[in-house]
Amino acid sequence: MPQQPLSMSEKKKQKRAAILKAAIKVFSEKGFAETTIAVIAKEARVSFGTVFTYFETKEILYEKAVLEPLDEIKPYFLKVDDYFSGTPLEKIQQMIETHVDLFSERSEFLRLIQQVLGRPERFPKLFEELDLFVDDFVNIISPTIEEGQRQGVFYEETPALMAQSYLAILNGMRLTYINESTHSLWNALTVQALRLFGPIIKN
């Protein structure tokens, strides 16, 4: 019986989640302007009025649809030491594999981020958020890069630039490539990303 109110709010949470999931899907495919609330509602199997019950405006829904996936991938970028271990080279290698995997399985992440990066004046708040995320990533990853540099396996480059060029290549990975699940392609891309850090000879 004490679960009763919980199950109530549980149902609401589920519906909210369903709408958000639908929004992420549709927004990532069609962008903000060409997405209609009606389509999101249909995808979420609710009436379009219900969308407004959970999200006040389309704009707010978009923000949530961007920030929620961002929060989901954040740990894989910011908790490097929790997820990856070994030598700096090994850690970076694991990280890259994880990131490529992440985007290959949930390409919406990439699309939404690209949409925001392409329109900084249109989505200033979200852009700012991404900017901070980049800064955080740079700060988190720098010590590992520096250690690798001391070990002589990474280039003597400012860690910030190395991190940013890595994000650039990640970001620039074409969704069409990504969605092709040819493992050999991923491996190759991973190696190429790694080469931004140090001179890697595949064996």
By the rule CB under 7 A, 8 interacts with DNA:
yes
Which residue carries 């962008």 as its tokens?
31
The listed partner (DNA, its own copies, none) that binds 37, CB under 5 to 8 Å by sort, is DNA
Residue from 36, 57, 87, 192 in contact with its own copies (CB under 8 A): 192
Asked if residue 91 lies in contact with residue 80, where contact means CB atoms within 8 angstroms, the answer is yes
By the rule CB under 7 A, 125 interacts with DNA:
no
Neighbours of 18 (CB within 10 A): 16
What type of residue is 123? Answer: F
By the rule CB under 8 A, 132 interacts with its own copies:
no
The listed partner (DNA, its own copies, none) that binds 142, CB under 5 to 8 Å by sort, is none
35: left (phi over 0), alpha (psi -120 to 50) or beta: beta
Which residue carries 């679960």 as its tokens?
3
CA atoms of 77 and 171, how far apart (whole Å): 14
In the complex, the smallest distance separating the C-beta of residue 61 from its own copies, rounded to whole angstroms, is 17
152: left (phi over 0), alpha (psi -120 to 50) or beta: left
By the rule CB under 7 A, 46 interacts with DNA:
yes
Asked if residue 54 lies in contact with residue 19, where contact means CB atoms within 8 angstroms, the answer is yes
Which range of residues in 42-50, 82-90, 154-162, 179-187 is near DNA by CB under 7 A? 42-50
Q: Closest CB to DNA among 36 and 151? A: 36
- Site residues (vs its own copies, CB under 8 A): 29-31, 33-34, 111, 114-115, 117-122, 131, 155-158, 161-162, 164-165, 167-177, 185, 188-189, 191-193, 195-196, 198-202
